[in-house]
Amino acid sequence: MKLYVIGIGPGGEEQMTLRAVRALTACDCVAGYGLYLDLIAPLIEGKERIMTGMTREVDRCTAARDRALQGQTVAVVSSGDAGVYGMAGLVFEVCEGHPEIEIEVIPGITAACSGGAVLGSPLTCDFACVSLSDLLTPWEVIEQRLRGAAQGDFAIALYNPASKKRTDHLQRACDILLETQKPETVCGLVRNIGRAGETFSLTTLGALRDTPVDMLTTVFVGNSRTKMVDGRMVTPRGYRGV
For residue 110, state whether it binds ligand SAH (rule: CB under 6 A): yes
Does residue 116 touch ligand SAH according to CB under 6 A?
no
Closest approach of ligand SAH to the CB of residue 160, in Å? 4
Is position 78 an interface residue for ligand SAH (rule: CB under 6 A)?
yes
117 binding ligand SAH? (CB under 6 A) = no
Per the DSSP assignment, residues forming a β-bridge with 233 are 120, 228
Name residues whose C-beta falls within 8 Å of residue 16's C-beta, 6 or more positions apart in sequence.
8, 9, 40, 108
**Contacts of ligand SAH in 183-202 (CB under 6 A):** 190-195
Q: Give the SS3 label for residue 229.
A: strand
Nearest to 208 by CA among 236, 176, 183, 235: 183
Quickly list H helices, the chain.
18-26, 34-39, 57-69, 88-94, 111-119, 139-151, 169-177, 205-208
Q: Is 124 in the site for ligand SAH (CB under 6 A)?
A: no
Residues 202-241 that bind ligand SAH (CB under 6 A): 215-218
Over the window 146 to 185, marking each residue x when it contacts ligand SAH by CB under 6 A and - when it does not, the resulting string is -------------xx-------------------------
> How far, rounded to the nearest angstrom, does the alpha carbon of residue 105 sit from its chain's CA centroid?
16
Binding site residues, ligand SAH, CB under 6 A? 10-11, 78-81, 84-86, 110-111, 115, 159-160, 190-195, 215-218
